[in-house]
């Protein structure tokens, strides 16, 4: 069992939720709702993991946290 962390944003142009999983090439998706996004992301991660060999799976990044910063423009 893997615990995978996805990064989620809302696209201001389309209004869609977009998710990407850092460290897993090809693990990204989009959806109109967060529930749909979670379902889609789980599916794409499962497909990506099926394609990975055991050594690549050992190299998956460990989620530590997210930091937000404010900067003047």
pLDDT tens digits, 49-61: 999 999 999 999 8
> In this structure, which topology does domain 7-58 adopt according to CATH?
Double Stranded RNA Binding Domain (3.30.160)
By the 10 Å C-beta count (0-12 exposed, 13-18 middle, 19+ buried), 36 is classed as: middle
Range with the poorest average pLDDT among 5-19, 21-35, 36-50, 52-66: 52-66
Among the listed residues 11, 10, 40, 44, the one whose alpha carbon sits nearest the alpha carbon of residue 25: 44
Per domain, the residue ranges of the chain are 7-58
Mean pLDDT over all residues of the chain?
95
pTM, whole model, 2 decimals?
Answer: 0.83
């Amino acid at each position: 069992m893997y615990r995978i962390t996805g990064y989620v944003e809302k696209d201001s142009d389309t209004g869609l939720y977009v998710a990407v999983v850092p460290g897993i090439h090809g693990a990204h998706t989009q959806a109109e709702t967060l529930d749909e996004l979670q379902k889609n992301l789980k599916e794409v991660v499962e497909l990506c993991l099926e394609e990975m060999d055991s050594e690549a799976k050992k190299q998956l990044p460990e989620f530590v946290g997210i930091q937000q910063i404010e900067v003047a423009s």
